[in-house]
């Protein structure tokens, strides 16, 4: 159940199910029953306010209210709009409700009841206003159960349209939507339950979703576990371009590449920085670059098959030249930090040269400097990263608490396992190194990026509060051992 369905794709799933012979009212009944069941599993009967909107989300609310009432819960139901305005399945559900229907108003929340938020679903497209917004704002501080999404949350982007309540529990149906895992939606949804309401999995064959939550099921079968008859050269030789001043970044990345499984890792650095790098991890090779053409000559060896440029490299002409040398050598590349910022004034020069073997790992600032208005910076995160991947032809990893990875062909994942403890200096360098190590072993760019982002998050979770970037590579063996045990 890792697929994420857009609002339009979820409508399509409903339509395909109904066309296959499942009546719409039966789907609504199943949805309402799933919410009522989740509520009864978590709370004992106590006063409950069910807030229903004018559409199908409100129809679900009528079913929930009826089933809770039948289970002995004291229930009040309020409707935004009039009963006569309800149509279709929602009108059928309203006819089955045996109790009074009150007008939706914040007063119904007096006495601090459990709140069932069935006002608006994921398809809301305009900001809440008027009485609807007043009701949502009145939910603050109360225990809220959201039907599909908290009202006011955009199902595709996770953005808040004017206002949205903080839910303790969100019950959605068949599959999650991007808004359940993108921020701020992920925090507003609370616990998310995905309920089976009778939509068959085969509808996904017609929908062909291109978005998923980043989980091992997507890439585990491609993970490059060492072979019994293998050797270090079969596991790739990764190269990290080291800078003269910010030497810690390249060192973090190089150790991470080794921990991710690369057979050999070389740091290529200015001669004056050689002693610093050589005093680091004994498993890392250090190669001083004697002149401007040395990096290109280093890459003439076909065994050096993957390159990372950016962490601590410095901004400017030398870094741009190194990037072009790696692209000219047709190596798998990870471009991060200074490698991206060095092209801020000449983005097309870089973007026109990239392909699917390249992985870009910007944070929001670097992303804006490189792609700017060409990808619609006002758009939601998924749309922006997809547009950036399509524009560049490369895999793009837009880092953050809800990291998004997109491929040029439109595939995209949202990562959801990274803890806030990763928000510390150097963790992005470690991530770039993990991607590099996987590329060196032959994983394709998209799968390497997805795998690395997940491993990075799991390492952060394993370490917990107090972690620093130096800790992450050392946590990878435990994460990898647990991953392998799942095979």
Q: Which CATH superfamily is domain 216-485 in?
A: Ribokinase (3.40.1190.20)
DSSP E strands in 339-479: the ranges are 358-360, 395-398, 404-406, 412-414
The answer to whether 238 and 264 are in contact (CB under 8 A) is yes
Provide CATH 3.40.1190.20 ranges for the chain: 216-485
DSSP E strands in 198-275: the ranges are 211-213, 237-241, 264-269
Give me the percent of the chain exceeding a pLDDT of 90: 97
Taking the whole predicted model, whether its pTM rises above 0.75 is answered as yes
Provide CATH 3.40.50.10260 ranges for the chain: 7-209
Q: Which two tokens stand for residue 128?
A: 């809440």
Q: Which of 288, 289, 240 is nearest to 266 (CA)?
A: 240
Residue 5: C-alpha distances to residues 49, 157, 202, 203, 403 (Å)? 29, 12, 14, 12, 18
The answer to whether 375 and 368 are in contact (CB under 8 A) is no
The full DSSP string for 383-404 is HHHHHHHHHHSSEEEE-STT-E
What is d(CA 185, CA 380) in angstroms, rounded to the nearest whole number? 12
**pLDDT tens for each residue of 72-118:** 999 999 999 999 999 999 999 999 999 999 999 999 999 989 999 99
Q: What is the mean pLDDT of the chain?
A: 97
In this structure, which CATH number among 3.40.190.290, 3.40.50.10260, 3.40.50.1970, 3.10.129.10 belongs to the domain 7-209? 3.40.50.10260
Q: In the sheet that 412-414 helps form, which strands lie side by side, from edge to edge?
A: 211-213, 412-414, 404-406, 395-398, 358-360, 332-335, 304-309, 237-241, 264-269, 285-288
The full DSSP string for 302-336 is TTEEEEEE-TT--SSHHHHHHHHHHHHTT-EEEE-
Confidence of residue 374 (pLDDT cuts 50, 70, 90): confident
SS3 of 144-179: the string is EEEECCCCCECCCCCCECCCCCCCCEEEEECCECHH
**pLDDT tens for each residue of 29-83:** 999 999 999 999 999 999 999 999 999 999 999 999 999 999 999 999 999 999 9
């Amino acid at each position: 159940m890792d697929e994420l369905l857009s609002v339009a794709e979820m409508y399509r799933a409903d339509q395909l199910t109904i066309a296959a012979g499942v009546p719409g009212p039966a789907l609504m009944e199943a949805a309402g029953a799933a919410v009522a069941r989740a509520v009864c599993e978590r709370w004992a009967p106590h006063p409950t306010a069910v807030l229903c909107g004018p559409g199908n989300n409100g129809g679900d609310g009528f079913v929930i209210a009826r089933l809770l009432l039948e289970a002995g819960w004291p229930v009040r139901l309020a409707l935004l709009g009039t009963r006569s305005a309800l149509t279709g399945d929602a009108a059928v559900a309203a006819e089955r409700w045996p109790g009074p229907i009150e007008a939706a108003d914040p007063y119904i929340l007096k006495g601090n009841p459990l709140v069932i938020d069935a006002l608006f679903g994921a398809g809301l497209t305009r900001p809440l206003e008027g009485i609807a917004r007043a009701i949502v704002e009145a939910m603050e501080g109360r225990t809220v159960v959201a039907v599909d999404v908290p009202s006011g949350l955009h199902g595709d982007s996770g953005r808040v349209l004017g206002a949205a309540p903080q839910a303790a529990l969100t019950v959605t149906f068949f599959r999650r939507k991007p808004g359940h895992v993108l921020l701020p939606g992920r925090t507003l949804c609370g616990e998310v339950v995905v309920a089976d309401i009778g939509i068959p999995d085969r509808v996904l064959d017609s929908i062909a979703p291109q978005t998923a939550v980043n989980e091992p099921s997507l890439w585990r079968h491609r993970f490059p576990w060492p072979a019994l008859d293998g050797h270090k050269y079969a596991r790739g030789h990764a190269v990290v371009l080291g800078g003269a001043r910010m030497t810690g970044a390249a060192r973090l990345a190089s150790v991470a590449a080794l921990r991710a499984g690369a057979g050999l890792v070389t740091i290529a650095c200015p001669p004056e920085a050689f002693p610093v790098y050589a005093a680091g991890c004994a498993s890392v090779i250090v190669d001083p670059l004697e002149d401007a053409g040395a990096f290109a000559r280093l890459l003439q060896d076909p065994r050096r098959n993957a390159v990372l440029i950016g962490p601590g490299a410095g901004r400017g002409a030398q870094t741009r030249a190194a990037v072009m040398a790696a692209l000219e050598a047709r190596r798998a590349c990870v471009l991060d930090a200074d490698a991206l910022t060095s092209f801020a004034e000449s983005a097309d020069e870089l973007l026109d040269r990239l392909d699917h073997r390249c992985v870009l790992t910007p944070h929001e600032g670097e992303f804006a400097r490189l792609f700017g208005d060409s990808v619609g910076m006002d758009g939601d995160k998924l749309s922006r990263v997809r547009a950036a991947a399509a524009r560049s032809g490369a895999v793009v990893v837009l880092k953050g608490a809800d990291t998004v990875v997109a491929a040029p062909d439109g595939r995209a994942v949202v990562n959801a396992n990274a803890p806030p403890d990763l928000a510390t200096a150097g963790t992005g360098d470690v991530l770039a190194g993990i991607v590099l190590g996987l590329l060196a072993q032959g994983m394709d760019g998209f799968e390497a990026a997805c795998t690395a982002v997940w491993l990075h998050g799991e390492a952060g979770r394993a370490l917990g509060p107090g972690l620093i970037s130096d800790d992450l590579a050392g946590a990878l063996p435990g994460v990898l051992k647990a991953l392998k045990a799942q095979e």
